[in-house]
Amino acid sequence: MTLAIWLSLFAISCLGAMSPGPSLAMVIRHTVGSSRLHGIVCAWAHSLGIGFYALITIFGLAIVLKHSPILFNTIALAGAAYLAWLGYNALKSKGGMNDKLTGGTQSTLLQAARDGLAISLFNPKILLFFLALFSQFVQNANDHTSQAIIVLTPLLVDGLWYTLIALVLSHSAILPKLRDHSALIDKLSGIILIALAVRVVFTLEF
């Protein structure tokens, strides 16, 4: 793999990671609602899901999923249901994340990891993103080193980007202000998750 090809891969990885959406909302929720560590754990669990999609793209399994409507739709509907459930829980939060903190009921690290991984794995848009933009790099993966680069580049870019988000948002000058608006963050993240779930359902081809 040439440097020029890798730079293209890196640029596309940055584009995907920095696009605002439910992944960003989830990292924010765990960072503001629990701690910096929770946000970082959520970030890297999410990146593992990104790495998984990069891996199946290399092995051609993503194309198989896309051309198997029943299997793809089943996975997409399960993902939409999970996203809607997460959104509902965020919307019904009465006191916001700050009240959860003061009440000692913040999420566990395992829950942060679960939500981060689920947001990436159960989002069909990510699969389509890899199909549309990453498939062009598969032909350059003629050896194990190139294949590893194609998998690790989006994984590391994603993990580092959301880690940066968690670090910035958990800064002592920013976190208190965010926690003052924690109820609003809960509601906004809930709306984003439910909107994505609805969009997934209505864009499926039966």
- Give pLDDT tens digits along the chain (206 positions): 788 888 888 988 887 888 777 888 889 888 888 888 999 999 999 999 999 988 888 887 666 766 777 877 777 787 778 778 878 877 876 555 555 444 445 678 999 999 999 888 887 777 777 776 666 676 666 778 888 888 999 999 999 999 999 998 888 777 677 667 667 777 877 787 788 778 777 876 65
Q: Which amino acid belongs to residue 91?
A: L
Q: How far is CA 188 from CA 12, 45, 164, 192, in A?
A: 27, 22, 21, 6
pTM of the predicted structure, to 2 decimals: 0.73
**Residues with Cβ within 8 Å of residue 65, at least 6 apart in sequence:** 56, 71, 72, 75, 127
Q: Return the domain boundaries, the chain.
A: 3-10+22-203
Q: What tokens were used for 143?
A: 């050896």
